[in-house]
């Protein structure tokens, strides 16, 4: 089994918080798609050995792609396309017109990830998003009316200008739309972003930790009451609607990523493409130097299991780890359980929502 990821590195504008790899030079889009098709052909062998179970168009803004561009990428997967049960496309609300939605369905795309972030226009403007809250709500309803019911949406909490009551109302408004899955991320201020520069100049003050924690715990409780499983640090799903694609990452199932900055994982090796569009196109043309590879050691693999496991509700399974490591960390395990940050039993160790708030600290203290 294998997941396929396409990284579409274009956006119409730069959101003030985003440090993903993307370019706003949209005129290079077709050249980039052609280069990605070449990359697929160069790496054909990696795909044919596996049954593809999920395909994911992420970015950047995949909803900038035309029918021809999306269609050519899907077609290039050949037979693999027919075994994929979940085909997701990340979309910005302003792109989801009735025609675009019909086109996605013609191509077999059956899951949408819609970037809502907030329903408050003042928050959206502050973050340099180019849609309104009303547009985001209308886009979700249009997608549902079009027949694409497997929808996930993203929200951001911890926006410096947002109040707690605005966060409550954002959560309420999203959950009223009855989508089966959503993700919620705490805003992090990254150095090489507009927000990072503002923070450095002292004109942006991040939300206080207590406020961010209150928002996270409110969401956890509200989602649970409405029947969502909080199955990963940032992800919530109605039963049977967990993201299969992300599940591949968390379960260590191989995945192959195409496009600039895309990552791949297979046979104990991690591989990543260069994060520069013109350089990627040139290197693909020359069939060399467009990626780097790292072979994971046993310790890397165990640390990865700690990191991934403790971000999911299943936690870590004792049987995947050496007894020595368990014994060495016994005091740590008890400390986190006594502090209400974790639960432990015969089968393993997992974090509580309170523990997720300090997951980076817990994970790094347990690393081998």
Q: 3-state DSSP call for residue 198?
A: helix
Closer to ligand SF4 at the Cβ: 15 or 143? Answer: 15
- Could you tell me the smallest distance in angstroms from the CB atom of residue 129 to ligand SF4? 7
Q: 3-state DSSP call for residue 252?
A: coil
Angle between helices 277-286 and 29-42 (to 10 degrees): 40
- Could you tell me the smallest distance in angstroms from the CB atom of residue 20 to ligand SF4? 5
Q: Per CB under 6 A, which of residues 42..81 are in contact with ligand SF4?
A: 59-61
Does position 15 interact with ligand SF4 (CB under 6 A)? The reply is: yes
Residues 6+ apart with CB under 8 A from 67: 103, 106, 107
Find out whether 229 and 242 touch, Cβ atoms under 8 Å. yes
Does position 194 interact with ligand SF4 (CB under 6 A)? The reply is: no
Closer to ligand SF4 at the Cβ: 60 or 353? Answer: 60
Closer to ligand SF4 at the Cβ: 14 or 177? Answer: 14
What distance in Å separates the CA atoms of residue 133 and residue 166, rounded to the nearest whole number? 13
- Could you tell me the smallest distance in angstroms from the CB atom of residue 165 to ligand SF4? 25
Residues 6+ apart with CB under 8 A from 3: 52, 53, 54, 55, 56, 245, 248, 249, 253, 254, 255, 256
Stretch that binds ligand SF4, among 12-20, 168-176, 267-275, 326-334 (CB under 6 A): 12-20
Other beta carbons within 10 Å of 343: 14
Which of 1, 14, 42, 308: binder of ligand SF4 (CB under 6 A)?
14
- Could you tell me the smallest distance in angstroms from the CB atom of residue 21 to ligand SF4? 9
Please report, for residues 9, 62, 177, 249, 278, the alpha-carbon distance to residue 259 in angstroms, rounded to integers and kept in the order given.
Answer: 8, 12, 33, 18, 11
Backbone phi and psi for residue 250, each to the nearest 5 degrees, phi listed first: -70, -25
Find out whether 130 and 94 touch, Cβ atoms under 8 Å. yes
Closer to ligand SF4 at the Cβ: 91 or 143? Answer: 91
Q: Per CB under 6 A, which of residues 91..110 are in contact with ligand SF4?
A: 92
- Could you tell me the smallest distance in angstroms from the CB atom of residue 195 to ligand SF4? 12
Closer to ligand SF4 at the Cβ: 61 or 283? Answer: 61
What is the token pair recorded at 71? 């269609």
| CB hemisphere CA count around 87 (13 angstroms) | 20
Stretch that binds ligand SF4, among 11-19, 101-109, 213-221, 318-326 (CB under 6 A): 11-19
Stretch that binds ligand SF4, among 10-18, 27-35, 160-168, 269-277 (CB under 6 A): 10-18
- Could you tell me the smallest distance in angstroms from the CB atom of residue 95 to ligand SF4? 10
Q: What is the DSSP string of 9-46?
A: -B-SS--TT--SS-BS-GGGHHHHHHHHHHHHHHTHHH
Which of 2, 4, 18, 223: binder of ligand SF4 (CB under 6 A)?
18
Closer to ligand SF4 at the Cβ: 22 or 255? Answer: 22
Which of 5, 6, 22, 265: binder of ligand SF4 (CB under 6 A)?
22
Does position 11 interact with ligand SF4 (CB under 6 A)? The reply is: yes
For residue 85, count CB atoms less than 10 angstroms from its CB and return exposed for 0-12, middle for 13-18, buried for 19 or more: exposed
Judged by the rule CB under 6 A, the positions of this chain that interact with ligand SF4 are 11, 14-15, 18, 20, 22, 59-61, 92, 115
């Amino acid at each position: 089994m294998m997941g396929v990821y396409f990284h579409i590195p274009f956006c119409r504008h730069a959101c003030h918080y985003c440090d993903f790899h993307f370019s706003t030079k949209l005129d290079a889009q077709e050249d980039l798609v052609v280069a990605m098709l070449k990359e697929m052909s160069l790496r054909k062998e990696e795909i044919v050995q596996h049954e593809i179970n999920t395909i994911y168009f992420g970015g950047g803004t995949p909803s900038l792609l035309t029918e021809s561009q999306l269609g050519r990428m899907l077609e290039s997967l050949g037979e693999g396309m027919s075994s994929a049960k979940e085909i997701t496309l990340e979309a910005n609300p302003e792109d989801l017109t009735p025609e675009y939605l019909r086109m996605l369905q013609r191509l077999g795309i059956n899951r949408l990830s819609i970037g809502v972030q907030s329903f408050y226009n003042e928050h959206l403007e502050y973050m340099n998003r180019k849609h309104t809250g009303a547009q985001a709500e209308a886009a979700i309803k249009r997608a549902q009316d079009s027949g694409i019911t497997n929808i996930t949406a993203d929200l951001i909490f911890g926006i410096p200008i947002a109040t707690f009551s605005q966060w409550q109302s954002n959560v309420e408004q999203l959950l009223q739309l009855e989508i089966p899955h959503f993700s919620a991320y705490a805003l992090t201020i990254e150095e090489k972003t507009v927000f990072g520069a503002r923070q450095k100049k002292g004109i942006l003050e991040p939300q206080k930790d207590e406020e961010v924690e209150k928002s996270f715990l409110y969401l956890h409780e509200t989602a649970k009451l409405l029947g969502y499983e909080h199955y990963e640090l940032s992800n919530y799903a109605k039963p049977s609607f967990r993201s299969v694609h992300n599940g591949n990452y968390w379960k260590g199932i191989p995945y192959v990523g195409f496009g600039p900055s895309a990552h791949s994982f297979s046979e104990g090796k991690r591989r990543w493409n260069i994060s520069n569009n013109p350089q990627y196109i040139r290197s693909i043309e020359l069939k060399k130097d467009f990626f780097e590879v790292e072979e994971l050691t046993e310790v890397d693999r165990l640390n990865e299991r700690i990191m991934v496991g403790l971000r999911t509700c299943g936690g870590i399974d004792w049987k995947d780890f050496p007894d020595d490591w368990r014994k060495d960390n016994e005091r740590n395990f008890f400390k986190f359980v006594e502090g209400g940050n974790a639960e432990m039993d015969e089968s393993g160790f997992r974090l509580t929502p309170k523990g997720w708030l300090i997951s980076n600290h817990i994970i790094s203290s347990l690393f081998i």
